[in-house]
Chains A and B, each alone.
Chain A
């Protein structure tokens, strides 16, 4: 069965960087795009961007450009999101999620990783 397993919770100071991983199993890793979605405490879902594990191409929303990097390791079936220059407002649960095409839903989700940014 399809599984996305994320790395554990992180606590970071403002200005630091965080790297969250998402390990995929149960399907051919390069066949499906992986998205990152975050949710601040008590807030809604925010789509951050997407990576194509096959070629490594990425797309990010404008608010994160310059601060975000999504990468993948095909030998480990794992994708990563790296967010730098962290601010307290980056405190959120970060989810990875898989789709089966541009018009398909995000059918499979990781369990979420809480990133706390606090001095």
Chain B
């Protein structure tokens, strides 16, 4: 089955840029979605279809996808961005949805 690999954790100072990666075999050929999950809450889509942003999500959140790595970039990080972030794709071979293991973003 398709495997998505994320770094378990990332620490960033306020105002800096957070870059969260999601590795997968030829992931650049897949549509990648990113979710933010705060403690005790359901996940929320922050980026979909590689780089699109739902209404209500700040422009500070952006995404890209090429080759074997998809990336979620959070510019000018704020304390409220502290959360777990998950990438997700639709594995067409198995017709299953697949999540990465998640990255815990800590704002110092």
B45 interface residue (CB < 8 Å to A): yes
Chain A residues whose CB sits within 8 angstroms of the CB of B33 once the complex forms: 105-106
- Of the residues B31, B54, B86, B95, contact of A44 by C-beta under 8 Å: B86
Against B, the Cβ 8 Å flags (1 = close, 0 = not) of A34-49 are: 0101000000111100
The segment from B19-27, B73-81, B97-105 found at the interface with A is: B97-105
Chain B residues whose CB sits within 8 angstroms of the CB of A103 once the complex forms: 31, 49, 90
Q: Is the interface of B mostly helix, strand, loop or mixed?
A: strand
CA distance A106 to B45 in the complex (A): 8
Chain A residues whose CB sits within 8 angstroms of the CB of B48 once the complex forms: 104-105, 107
- Cβ of A50 and Cβ of B97 under 8 Å apart? yes
Chain A residues whose CB sits within 8 angstroms of the CB of B99 once the complex forms: 37, 44-47
- Cβ of B42 and Cβ of A59 under 8 Å apart? no
- Cβ of A45 and Cβ of B31 under 8 Å apart? no
Smallest CB gap from A109: residue in B? B42
A→B interface (CB under 8 Å): 35, 37, 44-47, 50, 59, 61, 95, 97, 102-107, 109-112
B→A interface (CB under 8 Å): 31, 33, 35, 37, 42-45, 48-49, 54, 84, 86, 88, 90, 95-102
